[in-house]
């Protein structure tokens, strides 16, 4: 397992050992070897440029029993499946587990690209530890087959060949962004740019990846999803009922999940406001009316859409135009993108049948229930 998986997981040709003098941490650096180390070992998650193509989710049994770990892992695997994620899981002798998600290799992510998702998972899954993914210089994760500090070895769930296949085929593009949208966390206030350069990059992203002005501001056609909105999200939009509280602790997350899912599929504030009068969005209309006065619904909706648009512009690079797909990027086909005209052509089109047009909610941004991704 080590010989097969360590090279596929390591972002750099190195590893970190947990020596007796390291007080339980992976503090002793070594070159990566094909031979299984004789001490607990972990491989780096980020390359020398601070980018990763592996989402490593760590579930710890120290504060909760192994049964809770297993429940949390099964929950996150279900969410990943909804969003086109492939995963490899293993377990330690202490009852802790890892969920290893190989991301598309042509869209590597930075720590700041992951902060919102890690916070959402931490809030929902009691045994989840986000720390391994937060260190771009020292973040690391142990490999299936490696020694455990408690004795024994980490045990892979399932055949080794299946794990190697997952790292070869990898997850669909944008799985992290889709998870954030699914959990209703597309709020950029939770992950502000940390440097002046990042602030400028975020501003440029908004200009390059959004089209239109005012209430007609929307994601550029090149970056839109064309898959149907996930069934649980569409159900809440239609009924206002939360059928799974582990996904959305409160209606505010469910509401934002609907908004973010629609924005990723090209909807603007004007589109969504118009849709509130339809049966498909009756539940979302009730969700707003429950917390704000009727005269304030439009203002609250515009605020939620503005947050979702800013977030969508930042994550749009995860959804590359598949007409330029790199054959080595992996993924399982993913959501396809429509071949749409440019924004200037859209505005001059007189036919009125393009996806951005108000009133074509179901056909344009996929409210109809169906496959999630």
pLDDT tens for the chain, 373 residues long, are: 999 999 999 999 999 998 776 676 788 899 999 999 999 999 999 999 999 999 999 999 888 889 999 999 999 999 999 999 999 999 999 999 999 999 999 999 999 999 999 999 999 999 999 999 998 888 999 999 999 988 899 999 999 999 999 999 999 999 999 999 999 987 655 555 556 665 666 666 677 899 999 999 999 999 999 889 999 999 999 999 998 889 999 899 999 999 999 999 999 999 999 999 999 999 999 999 877 777 788 889 999 999 999 999 989 988 865 433 433 333 333 332 233 233 333 233 323 333 333 334 444 455 544 333 3
Q: Report if residue 100 sits inside a domain.
A: yes
What is the domain range of residue 298? 184-365
- Considering the domain architecture, whether residues 97 and 36 belong to the same structural domain is answered as yes
Q: Which residues contact 20 (CB under 8 A, 6 or more apart)?
A: none
The total of structural domains in the chain comes to: 2
Amino acid 202: pLDDT: 64
- Considering the domain architecture, whether residues 327 and 261 belong to the same structural domain is answered as yes
Q: Report if residue 137 sits inside a domain.
A: yes
- Considering the domain architecture, whether residues 151 and 90 belong to the same structural domain is answered as yes
Of 169, 199, 231, the position where a domain reaches its end is: 169
Please spell the DSSP secondary structure of 187-220, one letter per residue.
-GGGS---SHHHHHHHHHHHHHHEES-GGG-EE-
- Considering the domain architecture, whether residues 299 and 336 belong to the same structural domain is answered as yes
CB 47 within 8 A of CB 141: no
- Considering the domain architecture, whether residues 163 and 188 belong to the same structural domain is answered as no
Q: How much is the pTM? A: 0.82
The length of the chain in residues reads 373
- Considering the domain architecture, whether residues 149 and 275 belong to the same structural domain is answered as no
Q: Report if residue 179 sits inside a domain.
A: no
- Considering the domain architecture, whether residues 204 and 337 belong to the same structural domain is answered as yes
């Amino acid at each position: 397992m080590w010989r097969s998986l360590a090279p596929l997981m390591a972002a750099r040709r190195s590893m970190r050992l947990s020596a007796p003098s390291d007080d339980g941490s992976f503090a002793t650096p070594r070159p990566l070897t094909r031979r299984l180390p004789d001490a607990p070992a972990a491989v780096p998650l980020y390359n020398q440029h601070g980018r990763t193509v592996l989402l490593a989710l760590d579930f710890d049994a120290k504060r909760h029993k192994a049964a809770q770990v297993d429940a949390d892992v099964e929950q996150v695997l279900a969410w990943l499946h909804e969003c086109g994620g492939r995963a490899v899981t293993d377990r330690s002798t202490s009852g802790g587990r890892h969920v290893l998600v190989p991301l598309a290799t042509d869209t590597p992510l930075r720590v700041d690209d992951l902060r919102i998702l890690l916070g959402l998972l931490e809030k929902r899954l009691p045994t989840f530890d986000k720390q391994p993914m937060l260190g771009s210089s020292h973040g690391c994760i142990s490999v299936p087959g490696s020694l455990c500090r408690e004795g024994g070895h980490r045990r892979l769930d399932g055949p080794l060949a299946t794990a190697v296949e997952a790292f070869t085929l990898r997850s669909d593009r944008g799985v992290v962004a889709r998870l954030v949208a699914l959990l209703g966390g597309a709020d950029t206030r939770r992950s502000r740019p940390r440097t002046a350069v990042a602030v400028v990059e975020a501003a440029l992203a908004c200009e390059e990846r959004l089209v239109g002005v005012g209430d007609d501001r929307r994601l550029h056609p090149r970056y839109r999803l064309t898959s149907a909105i996930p069934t649980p999200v569409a159900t809440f939009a239609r009924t206002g009922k939360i059928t799974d509280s582990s996904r959305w602790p409160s209606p505010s997350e469910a509401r934002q999940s609907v908004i973010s899912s629609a924005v990723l599929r090209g909807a603007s504030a004007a589109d969504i406001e118009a849709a509130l009068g339809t049966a498909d969005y009756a539940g979302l209309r009730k969700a707003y009316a429950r917390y704000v006065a009727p005269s304030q619904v439009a203002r609250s909706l515009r605020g939620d859409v503005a947050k979702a648009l800013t977030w969508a512009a930042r994550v749009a690079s995860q959804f590359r135009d598949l007409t330029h797909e790199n054959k080595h990027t992996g993924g399982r086909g993913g959501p396809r993108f429509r071949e749409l005209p440019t924004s200037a052509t859209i505005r001059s089109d007189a036919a009125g049948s393009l996806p951005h047009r108000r009133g074509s909610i179901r056909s344009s941004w996929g409210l109809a229930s169906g496959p999630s991704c």
